[in-house]
Amino acid sequence: MSKKKQKKVLGRGLDALLGDPDNSNFSNDNNKNSNSFQISLEKIYVNRNQPRTNFDSNEIDNLVVSIKELGIIQPITVRKINDDKYEIISGERRYRASRIANLGSIPCYIKAVEDEADLLKMSLVENIQRVDLDPIEIALTYERFINEYNLNIDAISRLVGKDRSTISNYIRLLKLDPIIQSGIRDGFLSMGHGRALINVEDKKLQIEIYEQIISSKLSVRQTEKIARGNKAPPNNNFSSDVSKIYIDATNKFEKLFNSKVTLKENSKGKVSLSTTFKSINDLYSFLKKISN
């Protein structure tokens, strides 16, 4: 991409990238938003450059139920390829759920986008700004901006509205072992855990600590301490005094509440406790128990 073209794209911002819908060849659906149009699902195709790769099956199932009850409230966004083909810019989850719900057509915003580069940027930026992507998908998105469009961190920062350090922190996650990246994508550990593990250069050691995070439910702060020491816990049953306290406290609280208890420590060392009672009567019984 030339510097002149790059500057033009970045200067327009997201709203300009999305543009105004090209509606000259379509009849307006008066029951929908004035800028949306009903298009047959058979004419809609997924975007091969879609940055989102993880589609939670439970989310899709819930969306199917909602669509059957209420229909599509928010139209998806597409671009016209020809009279019989439209490519999704955003809204693939709604598209997938609509097919499962056996809808014949769905409302769409039609954007006039011809340049493949603009299409990719539009999809990436919209997903990032809507926080629909997991940390690794965001990291891969930023990497694609760098590798495919020769954008630097400053340019990406202006394009997506995030500060430079945030973008750099996401990109650094790609240095992690692929197994750990998968763990972040699947929600087994947080981005904070991942950032702590980046400081461990030995990939084998990264995996050992990762497994310990999962098995012992280590907090980010505990993980940071282990990473700074650059060594894994001595065995699979983390034997530090802090871990023993957490395990002992959890067991005692679960016995007291007669319910599963979760203890979490934030980055400042503050601990929160959460539990669930089956009913208000169980809660009342517990209150009577401790009041006595």
* 61: its two tokens: 């199932």
Identify the active-site residue in 87, 92, 126, 137: 92
- 87 counts as catalytic: no
Task: Spell out the alpha helix ranges (H) of the chain.
Answer: 3-18, 57-70, 92-100, 116-129, 135-149, 153-160, 164-172, 178-185, 191-198, 203-216, 220-229, 241-257, 280-291
Q: Give the pairing of strands 76-82 and 105-111.
A: parallel
Kindly state the helix (H) or strand (E) to which residue 37 belongs, with its residue range.
strand 36-40
Question: Among residues 150, 151, 206, 195, which one has the least CA distance to residue 171?
Answer: 195
- At a CB cut-off of 8 Å and minimum separation 6, what does 265 contact? 219, 221, 222, 246, 271
- At a CB cut-off of 8 Å and minimum separation 6, what does 204 contact? none
Active site (catalytic) residues: 92
